[in-house]
Structure 1
């Protein structure tokens, strides 16, 4: 009696199709299996949604192939995908695509295999002497096998004996050795040495925090999420490490999310060093791994070999069978939000996954998101505080430099106080971090004669000048062009670079401090695979005096010899049309400032600002998170912004401005017809960044108390509204960026 499978083919819409399961595949096909199925004249990959005893669809075809042997998607992750599809207004197929790395989903890479040689019988010195008289190279090879004493890769034996692989083939033919293929893991950290470390002694606050986490671990019912609110340098990572140790003792696993790939090397080093003594496998999942490495790390988790997973946003879907704890470090970070379909927030998905797995989740931050703080206030989250730095180290002194007085109307990257402070650190052999959240050399090219600004042809932004390549680049769409030597409009040779980027900061620093060892960390400088790790390693060893960078150096990094942090332009993200601008600025300043004074020496932070009286800057200056939150919450509540309402942002884009505007207006009209009371729908307006990647963009925002009600209203209109071929609509639930 044949059985049937309901399969969701990739990129074929959201329509599931029934297929016959051939008898020889019956034991291999289950919900979550990846299969190849015929669809018209093609073979498509797809996911098995369920196995059926019967199907009333006539003329069914058979499944062509089962991929991966075992079901790749765990049942609880299956349900998580269904929730994402419903909540984030996306197709089930789009949600399912998140669950597997592309290299696993497409079966693009197979396990790496190498030939290993082992002796088939005892090899005596007499055997080697006799063989050496006739075939000295074979004797050298056989001796290498004997010395190894265990199955060893032939590539290694060839190097040891100084012979080719063919010599070992001859020994196999003569019956001396056996050559067998074995799978070899492609480990991204294979060349690294991790010195085992022991648990650190906790102070009183840390001990209380750890006890609160252990109580949650032991809870028979799903505990409330824990918000670990700890100032920078308060020892949150040590709480994570000892909490995971308690979970491993119960035979369960742990998942750790970090917001940036740049944080991963240092985090991996600490975790691998701590758990080396327990011989626990730590798997790393992020997009900068090579395809083979990502394949092997994922399968290491799926097979149960790795009990600890560390990774960026997509690691929230790591196939851990029974996680005992989930940790989200720097939970406030906007990089946890995916900016393409499905637009999920990994922090929020992690909270839901922890609830469904019945395990505790710890959300750690020195500057929690307003949403998480609101959840503490209404009792949804449990608050655990770390108010002091470890070893009673002082918080860094933050000084504000009013650039309106310092530069006297001109443009300057460095104020005299910052130059003096850097000189002082260089003399003492201490290190400095200079932060500017804008890459490139100059932000614009401007003609002083006619006022022409070089703009991107695809986006509503000025092109950024990159001096290294002598080109202009758009950081939205990637468009590049040669930097002009004369104005494209009036042909005047006086066209100049305006604004400051990290490349220009680096250039100025090299001129002011020619003897200093300087490095830069931004998306341009860190394009090579190992660039993050090598640069951070050199900085940690003291081989770099001044590190210039963007937000990738702003959080989570621990360098005890850094005593000065200079923030070049603190106002950069403050004056944008987004209600979260003040919150993001406060968080970024606090996180960057927290890189100073993490060792024995006291730290200092110089914040250069043209609006020094901004609440974000003043509250950051005094390390006053709760003061900032109080005034920010008052503003949010008055204007009904999240967390006092929920939001869905709908963006319509088209190469035609008129079509984008008309479609958005039509969408708004239809939406207002189906939305229940209590949901406000804004007018159709141009997006703050009206044109991006060649498309004009119009938006409407829904605000109300029920996200599901808004999502369903949006989906109802989307399904009923016919769209021209060149018009696209995207719904962003709980947006973190309004641009």
Structure 2
């Protein structure tokens, strides 16, 4: 970690509003190997040169001013490594590996410590003796002017202490009256400060989990590795409903018994309620959670609980990986395949890789779980970089559901142009008659206006990149990787059919159609419109879990990890919507969504059934999803990635150039392209672009993109560093800026 440099940039206050304020110091020669990002140092500060503690955030050879004006670092702190040092080290790692400024990385990693109003509750109590109180009651009772005082004294003589809001709202006592009585020494006003709770649940704790044979074998294997000090990351590949959460809980019990803490990452806000309740029932108020919908004050208080040792487990999306626990023992990543773990803001870090780095720094273990692992993680497991454990059976008595593939081309030939196939309609009637529940899933993830033929099912693909082309408003189809462009065809290039168009369907349209066919059914819709308010996800999921509705309609948020025992039918309205998106991961994402959707069916006592409606029933990702065959899908997909030079066999970085001035964006893109050509000599680097981004202009900001590929990620990091350095040295690109996205999860 040590970096031999001449200067150190130091911050003295770890808070968001102060992260921009750094002070530069000279590094004494004898400390050269001890100074690196995160280390705590003592520095002379101010005119009096009083010694204070600070944190090194960067070691550099670039002087911020005349070297003669700089002071030297006094010493390196020898006390125990504080949590702030660890988080600064992690920020440096993110900055180096994902491309950002150190300040951007720090503001991502350091918990919010902006000034927030604490949660307070005021109380009022008597500040006089009982004898004095009785005398005052007598005086107030005989004076019309003091009716409010009499009412308050009467209540306080009974209750001794009353909450402020009860006194002001229910007893209708004014603030001025209360302040006057306090000034006279009759009452005392006290303020109680507390940390905000995000979990509102008060049932008794449940008993320890009971594991079946398969689950126990996985837990014992992981515990054995922990005991031997082997912290190689673990990947649990378990079919839907195999009981991965029970394994997580058992491992967390082990970690907590050793006096350490746990972080549990989940991919979606929609999962939070059910997940938190399962952990809260076992661990009580030692659990907390965060998500983007919490207020600033609520987030602040959850991190304060972690710092103070008031909780042992933090649950949340990717930002929970930065929870300021001092002794992390395990980081669990549920549904590790989810693209939500990749940040779409600079720095564009991936929570999985960041968790592995944080665990390495703290000698903790990372455990990932999924029924449909990411190709990257399964590749690492296949090459012994991760440990692989497999759960082949569901934890319940039921087997995996029966899956029916419906060819929508045949439905069209038979005259059925509705959004529901005959098979799906008949099965829906059957479930409603049996008072069972149904989930209708609309596969809209990655949908960006792809064009396909409804007669033969073929999409229009880029001849250079083998990904679906995207329909644009100017009447053209565009590849979002290389910029290849063609006019939208009037007829299918494959079969000549006139039934060719951009394909799409929305949740509201499906809801209206369901209500028309089944007017007596109770329907819930779950999408961005119905979940926009705080707690929206929880209300809909709780209502469906309580059987207040028969049919739940939604996009990908309804198929992630939920457990509804009465659901015995899942219908996938259009499997193709994500399949031909302009994205090399389109087949993987489609397979994952279909498999996860199918996994919601038959989790109770009834046998489950799934109907997948598609125009591409022969596509490998759809047939493997129908058979719940991940290994088969992986073998086919990894071959495609190898032939096309895509991750995980080849590292990839998107270089995104942005500017409000089109000429500036073009100039910077050309400069980077020329620089990359020079750096690429002899490096085996593949360069695609520069080209306009898929959406070339957003909010008056022009966007260009260059894709770089290389088998070694270190080479891409080195090139990223050189691009940053030469842009800074050139300094002639005006308002143009550059961002880097390593192994991008979405196209540009």
Same fold, TM-score > 0.5, yes or no: yes
Residue 685 of structure 2 is aligned to residue 680 of structure 1: yes
Per the alignment, residue 432 of structure 1 pairs with: 438
Q: Deviations over 1:149-206 (max 9, x none)?
A: 7x7642245567665556655664565653222213333344x544532233211111
Residue 301 of structure 2 is aligned to residue 291 of structure 1: no
Per the alignment, residue 737 of structure 1 pairs with: 746
Question: Contact (CA 8 Å) 1:367, 1:587: kept in 2 or not?
Answer: yes
Residue 263 of structure 2 is aligned to residue 265 of structure 1: no
Q: CA RMSD in A?
A: 3.8
Per the alignment, residue 377 of structure 1 pairs with: 382
Q: CA–CA distance in 2 between the matches of 1:110 and 1:254?
A: 28
Choose the corresponding residue for 2:90, options 80, 87, 92.
80
Q: CA–CA distance in 2 between the matches of 1:333 and 1:415?
A: 30
- Seen in structure 2, the aligned counterparts of structure 1 residues 535 and 665 have a Cα distance that, compared at 3 Å, is same
Q: CA–CA distance in 2 between the matches of 1:240 and 1:624?
A: 24
Q: CA–CA distance in 2 between the matches of 1:520 and 1:289?
A: 23
Q: Deviations over 1:69-104 (max 9, x none)?
A: xx9962111101111111112211111110135xx3
Q: CA–CA distance in 2 between the matches of 1:441 and 1:625?
A: 23
Q: CA–CA distance in 2 between the matches of 1:26 and 1:511?
A: 77
- Seen in structure 2, the aligned counterparts of structure 1 residues 262 and 305 have a Cα distance that, compared at 3 Å, is same
Question: Contact (CA 8 Å) 1:649, 1:702: kept in 2 or not?
Answer: yes
Per the alignment, residue 664 of structure 1 pairs with: 669
SS of 1:667's equivalent?
A: helix
Per the alignment, residue 529 of structure 1 pairs with: 534
- Seen in structure 2, the aligned counterparts of structure 1 residues 553 and 323 have a Cα distance that, compared at 3 Å, is same
Q: CA–CA distance in 1 between the matches of 2:445 and 2:549?
A: 20
Per the alignment, residue 621 of structure 2 pairs with: 616
Q: Deviations over 1:632-674 (max 9, x none)?
A: 1222223332222211222234566676556434422211322
Question: Contact (CA 8 Å) 2:265, 2:316: kept in 1 or not?
Answer: yes
Residue 116 of structure 2 is aligned to residue 114 of structure 1: no
Question: Contact (CA 8 Å) 2:442, 2:554: kept in 1 or not?
Answer: yes
Q: CA–CA distance in 2 between the matches of 1:296 and 1:676?
A: 52
Residue 226 of structure 2 is aligned to residue 240 of structure 1: no
Q: CA–CA distance in 1 between the matches of 2:235 and 2:589?
A: 19
SS of 1:224's equivalent?
A: coil
- Seen in structure 2, the aligned counterparts of structure 1 residues 622 and 78 have a Cα distance that, compared at 3 Å, is same
Per the alignment, residue 30 of structure 1 pairs with: 54
Matched positions, count: 656
Question: Contact (CA 8 Å) 2:449, 2:471: kept in 1 or not?
Answer: no
Q: CA–CA distance in 2 between the matches of 1:364 and 1:440?
A: 23
Q: CA–CA distance in 1 between the matches of 2:139 and 2:59?
A: 61
- Seen in structure 2, the aligned counterparts of structure 1 residues 356 and 663 have a Cα distance that, compared at 3 Å, is same
Per the alignment, residue 250 of structure 1 pairs with: 258
Question: Contact (CA 8 Å) 1:679, 1:710: kept in 2 or not?
Answer: no
Residue 45 of structure 2 is aligned to residue 21 of structure 1: yes
Per the alignment, residue 36 of structure 1 pairs with: none
Choose the corresponding residue for 1:197, options 191, 200, 206.
206
Q: Deviations over 1:292-333 (max 9, x none)?
A: 222222222222222211111111111111111111110010
Per the alignment, residue 457 of structure 2 pairs with: none
Pairing of 1:338-377 with structure 2 (within 5 A): 338-377=343-382
Choose the corresponding residue for 2:222, options 207, 210, 213.
213
- Seen in structure 2, the aligned counterparts of structure 1 residues 126 and 11 have a Cα distance that, compared at 3 Å, is closer
Q: CA–CA distance in 1 between the matches of 2:603 and 2:262?
A: 27
SS of 1:674's equivalent?
A: helix
Question: Contact (CA 8 Å) 1:439, 1:523: kept in 2 or not?
Answer: no
Pairing of 1:493-512 with structure 2 (within 5 A): 499-512=504-517
Q: CA–CA distance in 2 between the matches of 1:578 and 1:511?
A: 36
Q: CA–CA distance in 2 between the matches of 1:497 and 1:698?
A: 25
Normalization by structure 2: what TM-score? 0.79
Gaps of 5+ in 1: 33-46, 62-70, 445-459, 464-475, 477-495
Q: CA deviation at 1:358?
A: 0.5
- Seen in structure 2, the aligned counterparts of structure 1 residues 438 and 378 have a Cα distance that, compared at 3 Å, is closer
Question: Contact (CA 8 Å) 1:31, 1:48: kept in 2 or not?
Answer: no
SS of 2:121's equivalent?
A: strand
Choose the corresponding residue for 1:572, options 561, 571, 577.
577
Gaps of 5+ in 2: 1-7, 26-42, 72-80, 451-469, 474-479, 481-500
Per the alignment, residue 633 of structure 2 pairs with: 628
Q: CA–CA distance in 2 between the matches of 1:210 and 1:497?
A: 48
Q: CA–CA distance in 2 between the matches of 1:122 and 1:508?
A: 72
Q: CA deviation at 1:133?
A: 5.0
SS of 1:691's equivalent?
A: strand
- Seen in structure 2, the aligned counterparts of structure 1 residues 188 and 10 have a Cα distance that, compared at 3 Å, is closer
- Seen in structure 2, the aligned counterparts of structure 1 residues 442 and 23 have a Cα distance that, compared at 3 Å, is closer
- Seen in structure 2, the aligned counterparts of structure 1 residues 359 and 679 have a Cα distance that, compared at 3 Å, is same
Q: CA–CA distance in 2 between the matches of 1:23 and 1:300?
A: 37
- Seen in structure 2, the aligned counterparts of structure 1 residues 132 and 339 have a Cα distance that, compared at 3 Å, is same
Per the alignment, residue 544 of structure 2 pairs with: 539
Q: CA–CA distance in 1 between the matches of 2:360 and 2:102?
A: 21
Q: CA–CA distance in 1 between the matches of 2:662 and 2:444?
A: 29
Per the alignment, residue 42 of structure 1 pairs with: none
Q: CA deviation at 1:678?
A: 4.1
Q: Deviations over 1:317-352 (max 9, x none)?
A: 111111111111100101100112101001110111
Q: CA–CA distance in 2 between the matches of 1:87 and 1:532?
A: 34
Residue 571 of structure 2 is aligned to residue 560 of structure 1: no
